[in-house]
Every structure is written in C-alpha cells, then in structure tokens.
Amino acid sequence: MARLIDASVLIGLEWRGEPLAKLALLTAGDLSAMASITASEILVGVHRANSAQIRAARETYVEAIIRRIPIVPFTLEEARVHARLSADLRSAGVSIGSYDQVVAATALRHGFSVFTDNIAEFERVPGLHVERPDW
C-alpha cells in the first residue's frame, strides 16, 4: 500500500540526526509521498530555528526531503474528503489536529496509509490505515 509520510516521521529523522538514506530504508518497496500540508509543517521548522546555523542546516535537510518525496496537493477533491471527515469526527465527538485532518483526508482520498509516529491521533480516523516506522 502506498504511504503518505507524516511530518512526525520527517521531524523525527532530523531530531535523531539520521541521514536521509534512513528515510529511503523506511519507505523501501512502497510508493511514498507527503501531503502539501506536511511540506508546510517541515518548512515552518526551518523558519523557527533559533540560530542561523541551525536554520541553514535544517533548510538543507528539509529541501533535500522535498526534492526526494513527491508532494500530493490539496485540491478540491481532497477538500471534499476533508469536509466530510471533519464533520463526521465532530459529530462523533472525536478531535484530531487540523493539519492531521488534512493529512488523513489526503490519504483517504488516494487510498494511502499514513506513515507516522503519531499513531494515537491518526487511529481516531475511521477507515484510515496507519503505520508506524520501525525505528
């Protein structure tokens, strides 16, 4: 099954000081992509760095990720899935983060699993297949 990589995995790789080759090993054999909101999330980390040195290193790392992983845009079709998902979760009294809802809707729209370290959040989404990295 194709995977939509969540920001938690990408951020975890950077925090652990892992080379990008680790990402290739984690996703070997399956089509992997990221939602456009995930690209935004990791780019925010570049801008939030607390020194020029960290910002430069993080930007190099993030830009390498963006070059290697296809990005799935958030189009009207994903918006329709997101609207239904958001309404259904709210009606059921279930809450997950707004960015995670976008990732989940994108995954559902394309039949992808979500590859994440944030299992508890994504497991609340009915019908979503969730995978955790084998660190």
pLDDT tens-digit readout, 65-84:
999 899 999 999 999 999 99
Task: Identify residue 1 by its one-letter amino acid code.
Answer: M
Report pLDDT for 26.
75
Per the structure block, which two tokens stand in for 133?
């990295």
Contact call for residues 38 and 97 (beta carbons, < 8 A): no
**pLDDT band at 24; cut points 50, 70, 90:** confident
For residues 28 and 39, which has the higher predicted lDDT (pLDDT)?
A: 39
- Mention every residue, 6+ apart, whose C-beta is less than 8 A from residue 124: 89, 94, 95, 96
* Whole-prediction pTM: 0.93
The CA-based angle 26-32-36, given to 5 degrees, is: 120
In terms of CATH architecture, what is 3-131? 3-Layer(aba) Sandwich (3.40)
Characterize the bridge pairing of strands 32-35 and 71-72. Answer: parallel
Please say if the pLDDT value at position 29 is more than 80.
Answer: no
Give the start-to-end residue ranges of the domains of the chain: 3-131
Report pLDDT for 37.
98
How many residues are listed for the chain in this entry?
Answer: 135
Give the span between the Cα atoms of 45 and 26, in whole angstroms: 22
**pLDDT band at 93; cut points 50, 70, 90:** very high
For residues 118 and 135, which has the higher predicted lDDT (pLDDT)?
A: 118
